[in-house]
Amino acid sequence: MPTAPPTAVLGAGSWGTALAISLARAGHPARLWARREEAAAEIARTRRNEAYLPGADVPRTVEVSSDLEAVVGGAAVWVVAVPSQSVRAVVAPLAGRIENETVIVSVAKGIETDTLLTTSAVLRDVLPAADAGRVGVLYGPSHAEEVAQERPTSVVAALPDPDTAAFVQDLFMTPSLRVYTNPDVVGVEVGGSVKNVMAVAAGMSDGLDLGDNAKAALVTRGLAEITRLGLALGADAHTFAGLAGLGDLVVTCFSRHSRNRAFGERVGRGETRAEALGHSTMVVEGVQTTASVRALARRHGVEMPITEAVWSILFDGLAPRDAVEALMTRSAAPETDPARGPAFDGTAA
Amino acid sequence: MPTAPPTAVLGAGSWGTALAISLARAGHPARLWARREEAAAEIARTRRNEAYLPGADVPRTVEVSSDLEAVVGGAAVWVVAVPSQSVRAVVAPLAGRIENETVIVSVAKGIETDTLLTTSAVLRDVLPAADAGRVGVLYGPSHAEEVAQERPTSVVAALPDPDTAAFVQDLFMTPSLRVYTNPDVVGVEVGGSVKNVMAVAAGMSDGLDLGDNAKAALVTRGLAEITRLGLALGADAHTFAGLAGLGDLVVTCFSRHSRNRAFGERVGRGETRAEALGHSTMVVEGVQTTASVRALARRHGVEMPITEAVWSILFDGLAPRDAVEALMTRSAAPETDPARGPAFDGTAA
């Protein structure tokens, strides 16, 4: 039996590394691109990526390289696993490498700050030769550490072309990684990206020690905000009650693994944005996403009070406790108030 | 200014005690009924309820008594805070004490096992003289410990009559306890009751150490189940995206305070139902609710695989790990599959 064409995972952070490991374990040829040559050499030699995914073994079948052109050469699927604000710069040079059949799946979660585009939109923009039906995302509640440990995980493959979505579903499916499909690409992208803003808010709530009741109310209002923005962008409301909406929001707001939540907790405890970011070399997507989501919400006239509060804390010096006061003391209202925006405003207030 | 008529809180468990304390702090006359005379005397003397709400001071203005008739005498509002399976027995003897204006609010969360009625339906059944528009519930993500500590908490007052709902909203509102209104009484009751089944399942997931990704998927599918049942009972879908749906589900699945989650965790670790129940004198609503929700789902032809799995583990000897296997290995499907039931089946599988 001829070997299937390889899958190229672009980005050797925790999630890119975990997906390459998962593909290899499932018997699929996989390549992993690391930006820095030393990092690629280290992973290839030690079969570990201690900086980003400590303790996980990288199978020998995973080809690791810092040569981007070589990594995508002949690959049937590109998995874009770099920080969302780096997607354009990393992928643009590969525009000439696109073939008719190339499938491109982004696992980067965020909104490009300059253009306010989701990552699949950025990919369509920089890869005009790509078949738009084959460009999408793989999102959901999936902390890399747990996927590497083969703990049960469920994600969503969102691509416009149904056959391509089914192909991506089969490619990533393993006994511990369940893959569902959803044609609502923008909905899945909004859910997976904006949840990082809510994770920062949830972390602030933890840092202020507000308790579980407050965080549950925050998550509820957060999903209402995410849903309102998604609907304004043409998403299907049902997507936000699914894995890429509720599921990803819940895991990132409550998990100890969440970098965005941990960052918010430090800010809640009084650290500045810069101080809180200084604790990790990993990108905290929620910071830039807060700025782009706020701009997107204002452009579309969507009310997003939590996002506004997080933005004011991170970029305008508002004290976290004052922001909470402001959110808590808004006049109480009927739980579902049409004046507060469309469906799911579970706690309009 | 004449004193307003008192609010009678029936049940001196953790939630009943916390609500009586909250009412008293807000300056409202409150009475607290404890079933056992010794318990009432102890609370009245020590101004503490160490058995159910350790560390919280019960204001002297709270009248504590085990004389049920005396407690409801002249009270404008009855707050029913006894275990859901005890509501009928406790309230039935008071049928003759109902006055035209009496407002009855249940904070008991569950479905009566014999009749499969929600608690407000039980109240309407045993109190035929009550104005049905003034009978409802006060539900939401509200662990008693945190309400007693005056941490920010948001709940939903669901009563058919809008003026009565607004009255209840004003009565319970404090700077730390936000009250929203929602006319969808059955939706709020289904959300608040069935979430305890999902909390047991989430605890089992914790006991099996499945990780945060798995629990997020469980919560997502759990809300889909809750919503399907609610829609079959005539609820408004939006209610399940609100505080009594998503909010209460999230807090009970992730909070260390949740008795239902803690019970499930023990079962997940291998204890039998009886062994796991033996750790606390407090009622674990999720156990009986699992049996009644399963029966209700079957009566209405609603697919509830998580509830079925929890029932099989608690009442039919299925091993928790085998149940997880069964849930995880169902064939993957489109994320929103019409054949799997109505809206919100975020992860039909």
DSSP-derived pairing of the beta strands A62-65 and A30-33: parallel
pLDDT(B341) > 50? no
Q: Where are the domains of chain B?
A: 7-183, 187-328
pLDDT(B347) > 80? no
pLDDT(A342) > 50? no
pLDDT in tens, A192-236: 999 999 999 999 999 999 999 999 999 999 999 999 999 999 999
pLDDT(A346) > 60? no
Give the tokens for residue B53: 């709400």
State whether A152 and B238 contact (CB < 8 Å). Answer: no
Q: How far is CA B32 from CA A184, A332, B79, B97, B146, in A?
A: 52, 27, 9, 17, 19
Q: Does A248 touch chain B if contact means CB atoms closer than 8 Å?
A: yes
pLDDT in tens, A121-174: 999 999 999 999 999 999 999 999 999 999 999 999 999 999 999 999 999 999
**B63: Cβ contacts below 8 Å, ≥ 6 apart:** B6, B30, B31, B32, B71
Which residues of A, range 278-317, sit inside 8 Å of B by Cβ? none
- pLDDT, position B325: 74
Q: Does A175 touch chain B if contact means CB atoms closer than 8 Å?
A: yes
- pLDDT, position B333: 59
Distance from CA of A277 to the nearest CA of B (A): 24
Mean pLDDT computed over A254-273: 93
Can you say which residues of A are annotated as belonging to the binding site for sn-glycerol 3-phosphate? 109, 140, 142, 195, 248, 258-260
pLDDT band of A343, cuts 50, 70, 90: very low
Mean pLDDT computed over B110-133: 97
More confident residue, B137 or A330: B137
Q: How far is CA A94 from CA A46, A102, A129, A191, B254, in A?
A: 29, 12, 11, 28, 44
- pLDDT, position A339: 38
pLDDT band of B329, cuts 50, 70, 90: low
Q: Does A243 touch chain B if contact means CB atoms closer than 8 Å?
A: yes
> What percent of chain B has pLDDT above 90?
89
Mean pLDDT of chain A: 93
- pLDDT, position A333: 59
pLDDT(B231) > 60? yes
CATH homologous superfamily, domain B7-183: NAD(P)-binding Rossmann-like Domain (3.40.50.720)
Distance from CA of A324 to the nearest CA of B (A): 9
Mean pLDDT computed over B202-223: 95
Domain B187-328 is found in CATH 1.10.1040.10: yes
Q: Does B245 touch chain A if contact means CB atoms closer than 8 Å?
A: yes
pLDDT(B344) > 50? no
- Report the helix count and the strand count for chain B, using DSSP H and E: 15, 8
pLDDT in tens, B166-201: 999 999 999 999 999 999 999 999 999 999 999 999
- pLDDT, position A324: 77
pLDDT in tens, A32-82: 999 999 999 999 999 999 999 999 999 999 999 999 999 999 999 999 999
Q: Catalytic residue at B215?
A: no
State whether A154 and B217 contact (CB < 8 Å). Answer: yes
DSSP-derived pairing of the beta strands A177-181 and B7-10: unpaired
- Residue for token pair 């950025």: A122
